[in-house]
Amino acid sequence: MLSLLEATVPYIDRFKGIRISTRPDCIDEEILNLLKKYKVTAIELGAQSMDDFVLKANNRGHSSMDVVNASKLIKVNGISLGLQMMTGLYQSTYEKDLYTASQFIKLKPDTVRIYPTIVMKNTELERLYKSGEYSPNTLETTVDLCSKLLGMFADNDISVIRLGLHHSESLDNDMVAGAYHPAFKELCESKIMLDKALSLLKESYTQGECKLYVSPSCVSKMIGNKRCNIERLEESGYIVKIIQSDKVPFMEVALKG
């Protein structure tokens, strides 16, 4: 750790600070004083879940209270707090993942990263998957869940700075199962747009032809991957035309431009 931090010293004045990631049980006052000395300005904790049963089942080696204590120490020391969670872990559920998000919100992090669980070759999770003890969430279920998580964090002014895994060679070669998509965040944002459109139309519009106005940057999100949102709206009885409007806020849907 010290050798990495020392390597930043000649360059640190060119940057605003340093962001690091660590385990929740690796944070104490001594460590924080050292990190502040080297101008570390943001710390992300690999919390993954706030359910102790899930943490134990996945051999995480830390508790939810470790996350709480580390988060409070980081914030008291004036360092930006980031929390990372994984959805669909072994022994987790849709409801437990929503619970984790609600507990994150109580800790008031500045940022969050959300990673759906992926089964990789030669891991304990692969053994559980092949034995039938673990069933990863489908892509559809994961998109539905993560679209709700995005909304929860947005409502509490918490920035989700990563949603889904970066594409990598190891994913191509070693992924066995799981809800992976190269444009995962786009799928989730598209689901949010669909839900808003359906809610608006059901409240204000009879079935048939109608116009939906969205921000220019949200047209593709409203249409959906392979026009899936348009098809879903048609199945619900709405023949929609998507129209760009600079007056409509980002990620919102309106019946008038």
Question: In this model, does residue 206 exceed pLDDT 90?
Answer: no
Residue intervals in the chain for CATH 3.20.20.70: 2-182
Q: What is the pLDDT of residues 222-253, one digit of tens each?
A: 999 999 999 999 999 999 999 999 999 999 99
Q: Which amino acid is at 255?
A: L
Q: Over the stretch 9-68, which tens digit does the pLDDT of each residue have?
A: 999 999 889 999 999 999 999 999 999 999 999 999 999 999 999 999 999 999 999 999
Return the pLDDT at 205: 75
What integer pLDDT is reported at residue 256 of this predicted model?
A: 81
| Residue 257: per-residue pLDDT | 59
SS (H, E, C) the chain: CHHHHHHHCCCHHHCCCEEEEECHHHCCHHHHHHHHHCCEEEEEEEEECCCHHHHHHCCCCCCHHHHHHHHHHHHHCCCEEEEEEEECCCCCCHHHHHHHHHHHHHHCCCEEEEEECEEECCCHHHHHHHHCCCCCCCHHHHHHHHHHHHHHHHHCCCEEEEECCCCCHHHHHHEEEECCCCCHHHHHHHHHHHHHHHHHHHHHCCCEEEEEEECHHHHHHHHCHHHHHHHHHHHCCEEEEEEECCCCCCCCCECCC
pLDDT in tens, 97-135: 999 999 999 999 999 999 999 999 999 999 999 999 999
Class of domain 2-182: alpha beta
Tell the residue number behind the tokens 């996350």, with chain if given.
67
Mean pLDDT along residues 200-223: 92
**SS in 3 state form for 110-167?**
CEEEEEECEEECCCHHHHHHHHCCCCCCCHHHHHHHHHHHHHHHHHCCCEEEEECCCC
**Distance between CA atoms of 85 and 107, rounded to whole angstroms?**
13
pLDDT at 16: 87
Please give the backbone phi and psi of residue 98, each rounded to the nearest 5 degrees, phi first: -65, -35
Contact 219, 254 (CB under 8 A): no
For the segment 42-56, what is each residue's pLDDT rounded down to a tens digit? 999 999 999 999 999
- Taking the model in full, what pTM does it have? 0.92
